[in-house]
Amino acid sequence: MSKIIEFFNVAPSSQEELPSETSLPLTFFDILWLRLPPVQRIFFYEFPHQTSLFLNTLLPKLKKSLSIALSYFYPLLGHLTWPNDSHKPMIKFIKGNTLSLTIAESHADFNHLSGKNLSEATQIHDLLPNLNISHDQASVLALQVTVFPNCGFSIGITSHHAVLDGKTSTSFIKSWAYLCRNLENEISESESPLCLPHEFCPFYDRNLIKDPDELEAKYLSDWLKQGGTNNRSLMVWDLQVPEDSFRGLFKLSLSDIKKLKEFVVSKQKGTRNENKNLHLSTFVVSIAYALVCRMKAEKIENKNVVMGLNIDCRNRLDQPIPATYFGNCIGGRLAIVETSELLGENGLIVAVEVLSEALETIKNGVLNGAENWSSWLLEGLTIADVKTIGAAGSPKFEVYSTDFGCGKPKKVEMVSIDRTGAYCLSDSRNGDGVEIGFVSNKKSMEAFASLFAKSIGA
């Protein structure tokens, strides 16, 4: 268990430049995720020194750089609320708002928690802060730094899904890291604050998000019907971690990925599907391979499998928006396939084909079918005889480049997938391929690990 050392309420460094009060309305992209559980991620860093050295050297830099970062990302200090006079929720910021930063110490086995062996899913939960969420309002972000004496430290981030998607969350923590590693060694109040490079600065103009098909009204209506009539509650789903859940992180090297692509191409030659337009991207091949291994390991008996894919819409809208847009801008596609096909001899080929078919529809418009997205979220877990799996994260986020001045993370873990059953994809620490994380029962995880290691190219 972690022991709390101290709580900080961190304020932005440039209060005078911030508005005294402002609100940021949710778009349909945000409303889609209104009551989903918070997204949780942990960054593990090596720091083989005593706690006192960490508290006296690195912690002041973490705090000061966080304060500067919050001057740019000030909506993170606000609260999600749904005023009675507003037809939709909004983020409300008032000057004087602060961000919760918890400092803790843990005597757990750092090398085990930050290693690649299977571990109990809940072992790392106490390295994360909780968001304050009620029916009336919700915190947007909370942070926890946990020191492992003479070993390292972790940074746990918990963010509200209706405010931040993975790209925005990653942009914030990488901005914080940039500022931290560029601070001078001597911390003093007289220093002029660092500036965040333009390419990191968040973009807040929500007028660029057009809604000609009235998706906002559709999503709001669907949420208002959940749990009663005109239910404006902001309480999120209380999804529980299944018993006997174990967490695993598996790597596909660039060589492995190349081998899988070559295998798919060779198997497709001479078949009736030879001319199908396959998306032989690293993302598709990795997800397809993990999906087939998982179906076999978990011995799935559902008739059908649905793979939900998240699509970054920023550069795919009719009027593209900046990559630094603050908020959710994620769409979805579903790949549906019979389980028996995935378990068959050509399971990997089938998986690549159905994922490719789903992604091919983006050409018809990334918002094509968006009127059904809220129904997928609300009903996807209850469809009879269907195994639904999602995919979170992206290797493009390059989370392993998040350096606070003491090197790359030893490990980056998406913790919240233990409640949703989703995969998490990321880059790898040494840049050689991708990492795939997911959670299942111990027996299935052991079977998956064996299949994953042995079946490449088979």
Domain final residue, candidates 193, 224, 255: 224
pLDDT at 297: 96
User: Which band of pLDDT confidence, cut at 50, 70 and 90, is reported for residue 245?
Assistant: very high
pLDDT at 458: 45
pLDDT at 298: 95
273/408 same-domain check: yes
Residue 239 lies in a domain: no
3-state secondary structure the chain: CEEEEEEEEECCCCHHHCCCEEEEECCHHHHCCCCCCCEEEEEEEECCCCHHHHHHHHHHHHHHHHHHHHHHCHHHHCEEECCCCCCCCEEEEECCCCEEEEEEEECCCHHHHCCCCCEEHHHHHHHCCCCCECCCEEECEEEEEEEECCCEEEEEEEECCCCCCHHHHHHHHHHHHHHHHCCCCCCCCCCCCCCCCHHHCCECCHHHCCCCCCHHHHHHHHHHCCCCCCCCCCCCCCCCCCCCEEEEEEEECHHHHHHHHHHHHHHHCCCCCCCCCCCCCHHHHHHHHHHHHHHHHHCCCCCEEEEEEEEECCCCCCCCCCCCECCCCEEEEEEEEEHHHHHCCCHHHHHHHHHHHHHHHHHHCCCCCHHHHHHHHHHCCCCCCEEEEEEEECHHHCHHHCCCCCCCCCEEEECCHHHHCCEEEEECCCCCCEEEEEEEEHHHHHHHHHHHHHCCCC
User: Which band of pLDDT confidence, cut at 50, 70 and 90, is reported for residue 273?
Assistant: low
User: Which band of pLDDT confidence, cut at 50, 70 and 90, is reported for residue 451?
Assistant: very high
Q: Is residue 402 over pLDDT 60?
A: yes
pLDDT digits (tens, 9 = 90+) for 124-181: 999 999 999 999 999 999 999 999 999 999 999 999 999 999 999 999 999 999 999 9
- What positions carry a catalytic annotation? 161, 403
pLDDT digits (tens, 9 = 90+) for 25-62: 999 999 999 999 999 999 999 999 999 999 999 999 99
User: Can you give the CATH number for the domain in which 282 is found?
Assistant: 3.30.559.10
135/251 same-domain check: no
User: Which band of pLDDT confidence, cut at 50, 70 and 90, is reported for residue 186?
Assistant: very low
pLDDT at 2: 84
User: Which band of pLDDT confidence, cut at 50, 70 and 90, is reported for residue 450?
Assistant: very high
Residue 415 lies in a domain: yes
139/215 same-domain check: yes
Domain final residue, candidates 224, 258, 283: 224
pLDDT digits (tens, 9 = 90+) for 308-355: 999 999 999 999 999 999 999 999 999 999 999 999 999 999 999 999
Residue 235 lies in a domain: no
Residue 43 lies in a domain: yes
pLDDT at 185: 47
User: Which band of pLDDT confidence, cut at 50, 70 and 90, is reported for residue 457?
Assistant: very low
Residue 236 lies in a domain: no
For the chain, what is the mean pLDDT? 93
pLDDT at 18: 87
- Model confidence, pTM: 0.95
205/306 same-domain check: no
Q: Is residue 228 over pLDDT 90?
A: no
pLDDT at 398: 97
pLDDT at 269: 72
Residue 395 lies in a domain: yes
Q: What is the mean pLDDT of residues 367-378?
A: 92
Q: What is the mean pLDDT of residues 296-309?
A: 93
310/428 same-domain check: yes
Q: Is residue 227 over pLDDT 90?
A: no
pLDDT at 383: 61
Domain boundaries, position 339? 245-454
Residue 237 lies in a domain: no
pLDDT at 274: 62
271/201 same-domain check: no
Q: What is the mean pLDDT of residues 102-124?
A: 96
Please state which of the ranges 190-204, 269-283, 409-423, 428-442 shows the lowest mean pLDDT: 269-283
pLDDT at 455: 67
What is the domain count for the chain?
Answer: 2
Q: Is residue 91 over pLDDT 60?
A: yes
Residue 219 lies in a domain: yes
pLDDT at 377: 87
